[in-house]
Amino acid sequence: MNLTLLMYLVPSLIMFGCGVYGFLTRKNMIAIMISLELMLNSVDINFVVFNRYLFPEQMEGMFFTLFAIALAAAETALALAIIINVFRVARKVDINQLTKLKF
Amino acid sequence: MESVGNLILYFVVALVIVVCSVLTVTTRQILRSATYLLFVLFATAIIYFQMDYAFLGAVQIAVYAGGIVVLFVFAILLTHQPGKDAQRIESSRRVLGAVAALLGVAVCGYALFTYANFCGRQLAQMPELDIAKIGTWLLSTDKFGYLLPFEAISVLLLACIIGGVVIARRR
């Protein structure tokens, strides 16, 4: 039995599906961020696996993942700062209760 | 032919990824959700190590598992009472989310299993990849150089630092 490309794509696909489900159903802003991380991570796996299996001499997928990880770190840090600030003002982080900006 | 250890490692990693991603989005305690996310990220790092991208695996562990998850835990502990469950998700919303996710997975899975002719590829031999090579590529300006994205991401990180300070500053 050999490890083929498909065997790495299937867990990544399931991870992405879980991320979509969590993103659509969760109420808590931090939980939504966690689902977003799941989706980003599955895309990173796809980049790396495609790079390694289809174009082993080139490095595009690896560098793309490297930059995507840095982007994800920056985005998460900023989003969590915003969430903590919202909590400081409104004392809650659930999106269905935060309606102050609604017209 | 793959070695037995590699196969066992793959199945353990795939199982951890599938189970822990499902638990991440279904558990009602948010701190547990962050912990399951940590397991998923570690399993992903193991995949990178299996693909011979050792540097990428190290970055994954250092930045994701060491940085982002710690940030999540900090934010959760600052905004939640420990041990309190989140409010129950109404079932209509849950059905909607499950239908959307399953539809996406079904379409992508169908495409993968029927159309893609590259799915049966084996792991090919890769030229030796050392840190010096990665560093040279990151800072070179020729065809496969990544100097521009490297500088762009440094500016972005600077903007992120300034933004974080401005947002978190007490008025």
**May I ask the CATH architecture of the domain A8-90?**
Orthogonal Bundle (1.10)
Mean pLDDT of chain A: 89
CA–CA gap between residue A75 and residue B131 (Å, rounded): 26
> A74: which chain B residues are within 8 Å (Cβ-Cβ)?
156-157, 160
Instruction: Pick the residue from chain B with its C-alpha nearest to A62.
Output: B56
How close, in Å, is residue B83 to chain A by CA atoms?
15
- Greatest CA span in chain A, whole angstroms? 60
- Give SS3 for B124: coil
Per mean pLDDT, which range of A4-8, B31-35, B47-51, B72-76 is the poorest?
Answer: A4-8
Of A22, A38, A93, nearest to B79 by CB-CB distance is A93
> A6: which chain B residues are within 8 Å (Cβ-Cβ)?
112-113, 116, 119-120
User: CB distance B17–A18 less than 8 Å?
Assistant: no
Domain boundary assignment for chain A: 8-90
CA–CA gap between residue B14 and residue A64 (Å, rounded): 23
pLDDT in tens, A54-74: 888 888 889 999 999 999 999
pLDDT in tens, B48-95: 998 888 899 999 999 988 889 999 999 999 888 776 666 666 778 889
Going from the C-alpha of B103 to that of each of A46, A52, B69, the distances in angstroms are 19, 28, 29
Domain B1-85: which CATH number of 3.40.190.10, 3.40.50.10420, 1.20.120.1200, 1.10.287.3510: 1.20.120.1200
User: CB distance B75–A84 less than 8 Å?
Assistant: yes
